[in-house]
Amino acid sequence: MPEKPKRVVLRGSAKAPLEGARAVGAVPGDERFEVTVRVRPKSPLDPTSKVNADVLPKNRTYLSRQDYTKQHGADPADIAKVTAFAQKNGLVVVEASPERRSVVLSGTAAAFSKAFEVKLEQFEHDQGTFRGRSGELTIPADLDGVIEGVFGLDDRPQAKPHFQPRSSSSVKPKAAAAASFTPLQLAKLYDFPSGLDGSGECIAIIELGGGYRTADIKTYFKSLGLAVPKVKTVRVDGARNHPSTPDSADGEVMLDIEVAAAIAPKSQIVVYFTPNTDQGFLDAITTALHDNTHKPSVISISWGGPEASWTSQSMSQYDQAFQTAAALGVTICVAAGDSGSSDGETDGNTHVDFPASSPNVLGCGGTELVASGSAISSETVWNEGTDSATGGGISSTFPVPTYQKSVKLPGAFRGVPDVAGDADPNSGYQVRVDGQDLVFGGTSAVAPLWAGLIALINQKLGTPVGFLNPLLYGSLSGKGLLHDITVGNNGAYSAGPGWDACTGWGSPDGSKLLSGLGG
């Protein structure tokens, strides 16, 4: 008998069972679905290049999307190896993308189970049903190192939106002082540069559910006295713009669009709708990064989950995508979470939210802001309790990045967040969702707030800001370009002078930040 081909474990593929879920039977063998296989790059990106250094944007040289693909995309020979593997196992290649380093395979549950030696089961949990797996995947030994991740075998919900509606029960006695704001009012309070509107820029927004109604966008921007922004939809992995009710993910979608577009009204807003799975989330990020039609210069992400809920292959591949963003000059703004230093986990330990904990993104924490007229009278850490407080703390996955070695961290890993902005629902954002005028808070609002500001700065500088972190922790630190938040805590961590694990360096002073980045 011929010797059975040698197989190896796909590193980082181990997946833990979802707490509270129970198996209700095997996935039917003839059920068809698609899986994304991530392939290694021709050559890895240089982590010491200028785009990752404390260098002003005007002195950075970014790669074009075409040059990135030529130098760092997937090798056609590697794609051919994956294609041969797929065909041998009865799977069909429906897309091969060298730039996204992705090969999308279609097939039956039985074929995928055989190809990756995995048991697929149907599960029930309090949010519904999903196709799941646990344990590790295996691949042929000759693909070891070629395949870096396999996504889509398991379609459990991966992330949560980080927005919070303001309810009457959450309003504190001092809420009259901490009134809600329009994005334009916050832009004025944070002294965003005037005379700029984001012209020529594109802001990408990643959404894992929900939808928007054009009528709401028209009504909202008319109320602000602004022209209706250009909003486009890109469908990823079959997802679509699917609005329903205000208490659904629609709240996230509308908050993101309305904040970003109000700050940068002439920028193009492109919403990438994708399924809420590890596959969908990754595919949306890589699709936005390599979108050669819209060419976003900043990406806003307001979804995430505790690091423990991700496989290591997921965190590795997402982080590689964010490294690609730096090389392309794209800034990634990510909400840091809304459940304080526990990030919603109940084990009594501290946790941080991913993808905000990636060292290659701008992690965005939250504050409570009180205004007096057109000036900020106080700004403190947002903390209304365990389930309503800014995320922040120390990663359990990512080592201390080079740029953070200049600050005192309360641990030996990456500190989160990097910056902050108004997020308390008590001092929240006035939005319109599914025909209703509401007030939302959450760090979800801070990511598009910063994305809009960066679009304005990109417009003024004439070159993308790109990866902002090395500058914030380097030559721009201590220069008063952000409002240092020194009062409050998020549970385990307290604010103080300089960087802290609640609000990072603080909230923006837009005009000063523009001046600093312009040199």
Strand, coil or helix: what is 116?
Answer: helix
CA distance readout (Å), 153 to 104, 110, 117, 403: 12, 11, 11, 36
Catalytic, out of 113, 180, 357, 444: 444
In terms of Cα–Cα distance, which of 5, 58, 376 is closest to 189?
376
For the question of residue 121 being annotated catalytic, the response is no
**3 state SS for 413-439:** EEEECCEEEECCHHHCEEEEECCEEEE
Would you call 256 a catalytic residue per the annotation?
yes
Q: Which of 154, 201, 252, 484 is catalytic?
A: 252
Place of tokens 């474990």: 9
Across the chain, which distance is largest between two alpha carbons, in Å?
84
Q: Give which of 259, 320, 416 is closest to 101, Cα–Cα.
A: 320
Active site residue 388: no
Q: In degrees to the nearest 10, what's the CA dihedral of 141, 147, 152, 156? A: 90
CA 408/CA 135 separation, integer angstroms: 37
Is the bond into 243 cis (omega within 30 degrees of 0)? no
By the 8 A CB rule, do 381 and 503 touch? yes
Question: % helix / strand / coil in the chain, to the nearest 5?
Answer: 30, 30, 45
Question: Exactly one of 99, 121, 256, 343 is catalytic; which is it?
Answer: 256
Indicate which residues carry an active-site annotation: 252, 256, 444
